[in-house]
Amino acid sequence: MEKAKTIIVSILLDKRLVFYGLFLLVIQIVGVLLFYDRIPEYDILPHLWFGYVLSEYTSKGANSLNLQSRLTEKFQQHGWPTANPRRIDFLLRFAGFLLIGGLFWESAELFVSPLIGRVPDSFFAFPITLSNIDGAIDVAVGALGATVAFFIRR
């Protein structure tokens, strides 16, 4: 519990990250109220930004626990001499996005959409075809946002 508190406090004390989260909320609300029904492609913007924001949150949280350097040390002990904190940061950002963004966001869309009168995306319908590819595209665009955040934060 103490580690979760450390992560949350580190994010909340970073004004840039708080702004990113609030901006994400604004573009999502604007999309729901104005754009999703008229311009379905608008969905790309919140998913891209969500990936970016979640990547930044994951990196900041992991850094607050000194996770990058501890994992680098562990990887190097187990025969990965090319492991360094920057590469570990990328792995953490990507894993954080896929776990939280890919599972949480898409699951929330699946279960919350009917509660607000919207048809949920069929991300969990297999096989993925052109008629149900929206969820897979959402996750891919979010992963792109997470990757962009990594490269911008050099």
- Tell me the pLDDT tens digit for each residue of 94-117: 999 988 877 777 677 777 778 877
Domains of the chain: total: 1
CA distances from 59 to 5, 26, 73, 129, 146 (A): 15, 23, 17, 33, 10
141 lies in which domain range? 2-152
The 10s digit of each residue's pLDDT in 13-43 is 889 999 999 999 999 899 988 988 888 888 8
Averaged pLDDT score across all residues of the chain? 85
Euclidean distance between CA atoms 88 and 68, whole angstroms: 6
Residue type, 153: R
Q: What is the dihedral of CA 17, 23, 24, 25, to 10 degrees?
A: 110
Give pLDDT, residue 83: 80
